[in-house]
């Protein structure tokens, strides 16, 4: 993974943390990852291990597989997911959207998945506020 992708992941993590909203210290407390290490990840100075991603996924509102895909640990394989599961409706991408996105470069796929994850988190926040 090149440095641009590493910086993008850090930016996505930061944007999601702010959206949730959590401070670095709060995320550190719930994840057990030091605030200084999290800050370096967000700035793109460090790239998180799979273990770190696992620890921060839930507090940030990500499914583990979403964060692992954004980090490049999992292959997006979006077309095969849609083709093998025509009724794919467990909160994931619509099959048509998955097929179209699967034709884009991996960097675009990561960016779109990050944006969709953030939008999903915002929708959850709005739903909680309207109750």
Given this model, what pLDDT does residue 94 score? 63
Q: Note the pLDDT tens digit of each residue in 59-88.
A: 998 888 888 888 877 766 544 443 443 433
Given this model, what pLDDT does residue 59 score? 95
Residue-number span of the structural domain to which 79 is assigned: 3-129
Q: Is 2 exposed, middle or buried (0-12, 13-18, 19+ CB in 10 A)?
A: exposed
The count of structural domains within the chain is 1
- How many C-beta atoms surround the C-beta of residue 101 within 10 A? 19
Given this model, what pLDDT does residue 42 score? 93
The CATH number linked to 113 is 1.10.260.40
List helix spans (H) across the chain.
Answer: 3-19, 24-31, 35-42, 50-60, 64-71, 78-84, 95-101, 106-129
Specify whether the backbone of 88 is left (phi greater than 0), alpha (psi in -120 to 50) or beta.
Answer: beta
End-to-end CA distance of the chain: give it in Å, rounded. 42
Given this model, what pLDDT does residue 99 score? 67
Given this model, what pLDDT does residue 117 score? 77
Given this model, what pLDDT does residue 101 score? 73
Quote the pTM value. Answer: 0.58
Which of 73, 49, 47, 69 shows the shortest CA–CA distance to 116?
A: 69
Mean pLDDT for back-to-back runs of 10 residues, the chain (131 residues): 58 90 96 96 90 93 83 61 40 64 74 79 79 73
**Inter-axis angle of helices 50-60 and 3-19, nearest 10:** 30
């Amino acid at each position: 993974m090149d440095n641009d992708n590493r910086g993008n992941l850090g930016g996505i993590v930061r944007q999601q943390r702010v959206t949730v909203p959590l401070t670095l210290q709060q995320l550190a407390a719930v994840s057990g990852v030091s605030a200084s290490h999290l800050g370096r990840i967000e700035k793109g100075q460090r790239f998180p291990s799979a273990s770190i991603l696992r620890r921060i996924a839930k507090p940030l509102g990500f499914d583990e597989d979403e964060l692992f895909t954004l980090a490049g640990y999992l292959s997006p394989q979006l077309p095969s997911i849609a083709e093998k599961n025509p009724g794919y409706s467990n909160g994931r991408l619509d099959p048509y959207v998955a097929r179209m996105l699967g034709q884009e470069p991996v960097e675009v796929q990561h960016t779109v998945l990050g944006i969709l994850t953030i939008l999903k988190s915002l929708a959850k926040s709005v739903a909680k506020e309207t109750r």
